[in-house]
Amino acid sequence: MRLVIQRVRSASVTVDGRIVGQADKGFLILAGVEDGDTMEDIRYAAAKAAGLRVFEDADEKMNLSLADVGGEVLAVSQFTLLGDVRKGRRPSFITAARPEAADGLFASFCEELRGHGLHVETGVFQTHMDVALINDGPVTILVDSRRRF
């Protein structure tokens, strides 16, 4: 599983002109499920995201997690995170999980985040979504469950 985690002041996702998910102070998490991902990958990614200490404490040091600041999560499934552009100019998505598998694993990822006591809202799987955010910092963190970076 590959994540792009953005610390936000607010974020929302709109489908067909209607807001379907939103978060105030917290994270916008773009999540890509890779072919072969298992529940071990999902648990690793969720624990990493839930435990990230990227919010400032009283000394303006990034020492606090989502739970510490009462943060929220807007999670959006995004297979394009797995686009491979090493060869040519058109991304290859061959390593992205098939939608049938990705949908269930993405839902499990959101449940794992909730299991860490977080409020999680989502976009709508396999739809065109308009995502809006105010990136706080900006702070953007990359996570890969296979630890490639």
Give the catalytic positions in this structure.
78-80
20 contacts 142 by C-beta, under 8 angstroms: no
Q: In 3D, which of 2, 17, 3 has the Cα closest to residue 132? A: 17
Closest CA to 54 of 76, 29, 82: 29
